[in-house]
Amino acid sequence: MLYVAQQLGDHGVAGVYRLYEVFTQRFGVDNDFAGSILLSPPFSETWLAQEILTPLPDDDANPYDQHRVPLKQLHRFLSVCADARLIELTVEDLPCYVRNDKGVPEQKGTATWRTITIPGFAELADEYTARKRTSKALTTPE
């Protein structure tokens, strides 16, 4: 966390905690006990940026768009977190397909897909969450 604070300041540290909250709220745990997110619709890069980061002040920004976090800020945040080994970041360029008028998929270039993994994610759970996960009691649907 000290490295993140040195590189990104308080905004970065707060972003890490919000990233952990997003993982906890939205996503399960893989078999290897590492939580993973593939940033693809509806959980896209734009969605994640707005969920976890606060827009940095930018004098050149459009005044009507100052509450949106730019993707370059998310990419910097993720690379700093990967350098600090808080996450593992995988970036792949894969073919992108679009359906034509007949409903047949056609390749339309490539798309960049990012996968974020928090190693040992299940071990980061607090005591309450850990008990809740192993509890045999009946629960109400959310």
Q: What is the pTM of this model?
A: 0.73
User: Chunked in runs of 10, what are the mean pLDDT values of the chain (142 residues)?
Assistant: 94 94 72 73 90 77 68 94 95 88 91 88 67 55 54
Q: Please give the pLDDT value at position 62.
A: 59
Task: Please tell me whether residue 4 adopts helix, strand or coil conformation.
Answer: helix
So what CATH class is 2-57+67-126? Answer: alpha beta
Report the alpha-carbon distance of residue 58 to residue 68 in Å, rounded: 11
Domain locations along the chain: 2-57+67-126
Instruction: Render 105-129 in DSSP notation, one character per residue.
Output: EEEEEEEEEEEEEETTGGGG--HHH
Q: Please give the pLDDT value at position 95.
A: 87
Q: Please give the pLDDT value at position 25.
A: 79
Residues 30-52: tens digit of each pLDDT: 555 568 888 888 889 999 999 99
